Amino acid sequence: MKKLLLAASVLALTACSAPSEPQLTISPEPVIAAQPVANGQPVSIDSRDLRTAQFVAVVDSGRQNVQPIHATQNLRVTLEDALTRQLSAQGYRVTEDSEGTLRLDILEAMVNVKHSVMSHDLNSKLQLQLVVETPKGKFVKRYSGKSERSGAMSASVEDMELAMNNLITAVLKDIYADPELNTYMQENL
């Protein structure tokens, strides 16, 4: 019995140390406002991931060898958290029971990587949609970004993470600085 227990323990530890598929750590930097623009207006935040595939990167190394790569954490939750921190810094009070809601829809978030032994190309795309609904009306706007990078040797996981994090951060800056969105939220929440 002791030998069986020892064998099972060794097998379990071996399984834990087996190599796993690479994953990307997505951690965008929201814009933290120096001066709040909202006066504690309440807003509820919701989000949906409307992408057809749940991976965030595709690596094509030729000869029909394509590898999808997922994020280490749920992308919808990560982006909702970043947007929540950004809106809180702007002076909005994020709450569960508000008449006004802001919904974040993820339409596209992908890093396409084509690489060979000597070089790689990274093409990143991000498209988000914000829907603000209040008793006074509805505001819908899409925010998108693209980036392209090339480099020597094959692309690393860190290269892909940097490309996606920089792109998400740039789109969050666009959302922060959008006068239409800010005016609508301040006047209608």
pLDDT in tens, 93-131: 999 988 899 999 999 999 999 987 788 899 999 999 999
What's the pLDDT score for residue 106?
A: 97
Instruction: Choose among 74, 187, 52: nearest CA to 132.
Output: 187
**Residue of 92 and 4 predicted with greater confidence:** 92
Q: Which residue type is seen at 45?
A: I
What percentage of the chain carries pLDDT values higher than 90? 63
* Residue spans per domain, the chain: 37-188
pLDDT in the model for residue 47 = 96
Buried b (16+ CB within 10 A) or exposed e, 66-90: eeebbbeeebbebbbbbbbbbbbbb
37-188, superfamily in CATH? ABC-type transport auxiliary lipoprotein component (3.40.50.10610)
Band (pLDDT 50/70/90 cuts) for residue 8 is low
| Cβ(119)–Cβ(152) below 8 Å | yes
Q: Is residue 13 over pLDDT 60?
A: no
